[in-house]
């Protein structure tokens, strides 16, 4: 324990050497007077206690803190959710009529359960990002968000100051989550666009507003609701972006038509889609099982969504496809596969490694046992460990990408 604590602080290794020397001296049989031993003992404990407290203060911000104030009965909620929608035996999966009929409830419940974990282990932007060798995980997230913003087709320079909202282009953030991409895009445009986030989860919107206020983010607003039924008029937005949110859609044609409706003619939408790659074989039971588990542990609907199917759905909705590519492919310049964030430290996230996942699970289990964390926390982590494993397998088999990035335009006619 002393070794781990000392490793957590900047000057810990020299301190550890001193502690070992003092410890050996106190335990030795050297002819040292008792008074000198007592003095050394006093110095030892006087230094060790503040050092331990300081180490804890350094480590504390990185410990998972899951209050779940927004979920009234976490243990019952996670058990019921898994029973209804995450049956690992496949009796109830993403193809079931019940789950599809209750897609808004499924999605909202899923994010109420996992948001604290996502923030702790992933950050405030709940999406993957292509990475270069040596690039920091969070830096890749921001770079990807800025790249998407650059593809929205909003002309520069803008004639609007950050205080002139009526002149600003309007941008829709589909499935805005807790506002990570929103804040990044708002800063990219120097607050000269008006961003509206639509999200089904009330807790997400509350957190997004709180974080926006904390960072002084300007010109953003929110709609709590279903992205299949956005309560705005036709031709409202100049541009739209979607970071993997529409993977929760049970009917992509309906979703894409709704986004087409609210987009102005000539406007662009940039959307990151989960699609099945050419290596996926629907006759391969292993492939089918992997995608079933991806769907069941992530509240999404990837089964059957080959790239050609998604492309057709976008065209059927009326969009003109300007470009599309798998941003995680070598051809697109990504050095690190999306699934490597769950493989090892090369993925850039200790919490995503198998060891990191087990550390979090043990922490949650002990927290529950000591009644520091609400009952059911460890079960949520267990579900997410299953999600990580399914993503790892999908990446290894090269059958899925979470980043088939489409740049689309609504024709001006």
Q: Coil, strand, or helix at residue 71?
A: coil
What mean pLDDT is predicted for residues 11-40?
64
What mean pLDDT is predicted for residues 332-359?
85
Average pLDDT, the chain: 85
Point out the least confidently predicted range of 11-15, 91-95, 114-118, 216-220. 91-95
Q: Coil, strand, or helix at residue 90?
A: coil
What mean pLDDT is predicted for residues 33-47?
67
Q: pLDDT class for 88, splitting at 50, 70, 90? A: very low
Q: pLDDT class for 57, splitting at 50, 70, 90? A: low
Query: End-to-end alpha-carbon separation of the chain, Å?
Result: 69
- Residue 162 is predicted with a pLDDT of 65
User: Does the pLDDT at position 66 exceed 60?
Assistant: yes
Q: Is the distance from CB of 116 to CB of 67 less than 8 angstroms?
A: yes
User: Does the pLDDT at position 106 exceed 90?
Assistant: no
- Residue 216 is predicted with a pLDDT of 93
Side-chain half-sphere of 292: how many Cα atoms within 13 Å? 18
Strands of 263-276's sheet, edge to edge?
220-224, 194-199, 170-174, 237-243, 263-276, 400-409, 320-326
Q: Coil, strand, or helix at residue 50?
A: helix
pLDDT in tens, 225-235: 999 999 999 99
Side-chain half-sphere of 213: how many Cα atoms within 13 Å? 6
- Residue 90 is predicted with a pLDDT of 43
Q: Is 128 exposed, middle or buried (0-12, 13-18, 19+ CB in 10 A)?
A: buried
pLDDT in tens, 181-208: 999 999 999 888 999 999 999 999 999 9
Q: Is the distance from CB of 167 to CB of 189 less than 8 angstroms?
A: no
Q: What's the pTM?
A: 0.81
Q: What's the angle, vertex CA 64, arms to CA 61 and CA 67, rounded to 5?
A: 110
- Residue 215 is predicted with a pLDDT of 93
Point out the least confidently predicted range of 20-24, 157-161, 281-285, 357-361. 157-161
What mean pLDDT is predicted for residues 332-348?
86
Q: Coil, strand, or helix at residue 223?
A: strand
Write phi, then psi, for 205 (nearest 5 degrees). Answer: -65, -40
Name the residue among 172, 319, 333, 298 with its Cα closest to residue 237: 172
- Residue 255 is predicted with a pLDDT of 96
User: Does the pLDDT at position 12 exceed 80?
Assistant: no
In this structure, the strands spanning 263-276 and 400-409 are antiparallel
Point out the least confidently predicted range of 35-39, 136-140, 389-393. 35-39
Point out the least confidently predicted range of 47-61, 125-139, 159-173, 245-259. 47-61
């Amino acid at each position: 324990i002393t070794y781990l604590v000392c490793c957590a602080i900047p000057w810990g290794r020299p301190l550890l050497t001193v502690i070992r020397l003092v410890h050996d001296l106190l335990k030795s049989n050297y002819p040292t007077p008792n008074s000198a031993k007592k003095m050394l003992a006093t110095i030892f404990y006087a230094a060790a206690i503040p050092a331990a407290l300081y180490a804890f203060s350094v480590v504390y911000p990185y410990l998972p803190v899951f209050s779940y104030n927004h979920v009234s009965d976490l243990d019952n909620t996670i058990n019921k959710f898994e029973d209804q929608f995450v049956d690992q035996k496949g009796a109830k999966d993403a193809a079931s009529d019940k789950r599809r009929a209750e897609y808004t409830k499924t999605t909202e419940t899923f994010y109420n359960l996992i948001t604290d974990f996502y923030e702790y282990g992933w950050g405030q932007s709940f999406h993957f990002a292509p990475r270069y060798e040596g690039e920091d995980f969070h830096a890749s997230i921001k770079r990807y968000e800025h790249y998407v913003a650059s593809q929205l087709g909003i002309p520069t320079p803008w004639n609007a100051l950050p205080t002139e909202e009526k002149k600003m282009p309007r941008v829709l953030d589909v499935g805005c989550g807790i506002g990570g991409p929103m804040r990044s895009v708002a800063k990219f445009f120097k607050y000269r666009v008006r961003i509206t986030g639509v999200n089904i989860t009330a807790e997400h919107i509350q957190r997004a507003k709180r974080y926006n206020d904390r960072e002084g983010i300007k010109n953003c607003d929110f709609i709590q609701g279903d992205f299949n039924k956005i309560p705005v008029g036709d031709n409202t937005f100049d541009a739209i972006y979607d970071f993997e949110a529409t993977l929760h859609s049970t009917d992509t044609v309906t979703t894409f038509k709704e986004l087409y409706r609210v987009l102005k003619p000539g406007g662009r939408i940039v959307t990151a889609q989960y699609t099945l790659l050419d290596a996926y074989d629907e006759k391969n039971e292993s492939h089918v099982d992997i995608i079933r588990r991806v769907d069941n542990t992530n509240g999404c609907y990837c089964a059957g969504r080959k790239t050609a199917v998604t492309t057709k759905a976008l065209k059927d909705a009326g969009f003109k496809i300007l470009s599309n590519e798998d941003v995680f492919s070598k051809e697109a310049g990504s050095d690190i596969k999306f699934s490597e964030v769950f493989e090892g430290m090369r993925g850039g996230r200790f919490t995503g490694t198998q060891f990191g996942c087990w550390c979090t699970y043990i922490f949650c289990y002990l927290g529950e046992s000591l009644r520091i964390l609400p009952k059911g926390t460890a079960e949520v982590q267990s579900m997410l460990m299953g999600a990580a494993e399914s993503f790892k397998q999908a990446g290894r088999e090269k059958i899925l990408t979470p980043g088939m990035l489409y740049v689309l335009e609504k024709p001006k006619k």
